[in-house]
């Protein structure tokens, strides 16, 4: 399939994009979605890092997800909002030189309560060695909570307040190059996931052009807001729930629920049909 970039006009075959290229595009898009949501809801942001050993690296997010789920549960029990994005740093120099797969998880957390998480600083001690200085305990997630849920299972960790609410620059530098990511996945195994994120509201998953078209559609027909909106690839798709009922001769009634596509808002990349026509018969917005 030939793809066309609606912004630059560049054309590229889908087969030319490696799985790593597609994964990295999605990672970057999700981090920008997180930034937009944090700014929109004025969330407080914390950075959390954790070392993962070589023995567990093949399990990818399997070893960080339980900790994040526990954090989310504790925050939501307190009636606050919790969102996160997490990227696995492969450490290219160490990996290429020594073949060591040990890596670090970099997690960015957005919370609606200020000071919900602890804050620490990395300082140089009297002996000239770097150490972690605890500056403030968290109102929800405390140092004792982290020790109980993180240290005993995974190893070293560090957490601090973010210096900026726009964290794309912080996380993007840890995203590996496509060739390194492909090689890393081959070495670590198929289960080696290197990225994780919360489910964001649909408005935070749209590109700016898609958001404008979405708002225009809702102004024309407010009932479209009742559709099930989700991102599918680079598109934002609205689907309608349909419950079909089949009566069998034995008297049993079978219910089948499907979600039929009603609308599709294209992203930057779309199938190149030689014109501006989209797969669902509509045309790209100007």
Task: Please determine, for residue 60, whether its predicted confidence score (pLDDT) is greater than 90.
Answer: no
Which position has the higher pLDDT, 128 or 78? Answer: 78
Q: Is the pLDDT of residue 271 over 90?
A: no
Q: Give the CA radius of gyration of the chain.
A: 23
DSSP 184-202: HHHHH-TT---EEE----G
Together in a domain, 63 and 173: yes
* pLDDT for the residue 100: 64
* Structure confidence at residue 266 (pLDDT): 82
Q: How far apart are CA 32 and CA 165, in angstroms?
A: 11
**pLDDT beyond 50 at 205:** yes
pLDDT tier at 77, thresholds 50, 70, 90: very high
Q: What are phi and psi of 78, to 5 degrees?
A: -85, 0
Query: In the beta sheet, which residues pair with residue 241?
Result: 259
The most confident of the ranges 95-99, 139-143, 189-193, 221-225 is: 139-143
Contact status, residue 194 vs residue 181, Cβ threshold 8 Å: yes
Q: What is the pLDDT of residue 279?
A: 34
Q: Is residue 253 part of a domain?
A: yes
User: Which of the listed residues 178, 200, 222 is the one where a domain comes to its end?
Assistant: 200
How many whole angstroms separate alpha carbon 229 and alpha carbon 261?
10
% the chain with pLDDT above 70: 74
Asked if residue 160 and residue 189 are part of one domain, the reply reads: yes
The Cα 261–Cα 23 span in angstroms is 25
| Residues 191 and 267 both lie in one domain | no
Residue with more model confidence, 9 or 68: 68
Which tokens belong to 49?
């890092």
Residue 137 has pLDDT above 90, yes or no: yes
Give Dmax over CA atoms of the chain in angstroms: 84
Predicted local distance difference test score (pLDDT) of residue 44: 93
Please check whether residue 284 lies inside any domain of the structure.
no
pLDDT computed for residue 1 by the predictor? 53
CB 195 within 8 A of CB 27: yes
Which residue in 30, 36, 18, 54 sits closest to 171, CA to CA? 30
The pLDDT mean for the chain works out to 78
Question: Of 183, 200, 217, which residue sits at a domain end?
Answer: 200
Angle (nearest 5°) at CA 251 between 246 and 255: 30
Pairing mode, strands 157-161 and 195-197: unpaired
102 pLDDT band, cuts 50/70/90, is low
Q: Which pLDDT score, from 0 to 100, does residue 280 have?
A: 36
pTM score, two decimals?
0.69
Domain boundary among 154, 172, 200: 200
What range defines the domain where residue 249 resides? Answer: 206-271
């Amino acid at each position: 399939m030939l793809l066309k970039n609606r912004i630059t006009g560049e054309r590229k075959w889908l087969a030319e994009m490696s799985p790593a290229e597609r994964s990295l595009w999605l990672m970057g898009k999700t981090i920008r979605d997180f930034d937009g949501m944090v700014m929109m809801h004025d969330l407080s942001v914390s950075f959390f890092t954790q070392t993962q050993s070589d023995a567990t690296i093949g399990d990818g997010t399997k070893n960080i997800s339980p900790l994040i789920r526990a954090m989310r549960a504790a925050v939501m029990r307190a009636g606050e909002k919790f969102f996160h994005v997490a990227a696995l740093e492969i450490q290219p120099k160490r990996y290429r030189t020594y073949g060591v797969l040990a890596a670090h998880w970099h997690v960015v957390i957005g919370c609606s309560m200020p000071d919900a998480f602890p804050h620490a600083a990395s300082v140089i001690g009297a002996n000239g060695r770097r150490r972690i200085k605890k500056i403030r305990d968290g109102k929800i997630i405390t140092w004792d909570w982290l020790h109980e849920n993180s240290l005993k299972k995974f190893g070293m960790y560090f957490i601090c307040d973010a210096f900026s609410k726009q964290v794309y620059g912080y996380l993007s530098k840890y995203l590996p190059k496509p060739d390194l990511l492909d090689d890393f996945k081959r070495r670590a195994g198929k289960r080696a996931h290197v990225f994780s994120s919360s489910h964001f509201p649909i408005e935070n998953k749209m590109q700016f052009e898609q958001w404008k078209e979405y708002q225009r559609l809702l102004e024309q027909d407010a009932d479209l807001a009742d559709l099930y909106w989700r991102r599918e690839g680079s598109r934002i798709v609205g689907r309608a729930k349909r419950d079909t009922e089949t009566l069998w001769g034995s008297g049993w009634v079978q219910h089948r629920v499907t979600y039929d596509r009603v609308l599709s808002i294209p992203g930057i990349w779309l199938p190149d049909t030689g014109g501006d026509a989209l797969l669902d018969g509509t045309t790209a917005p100007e």
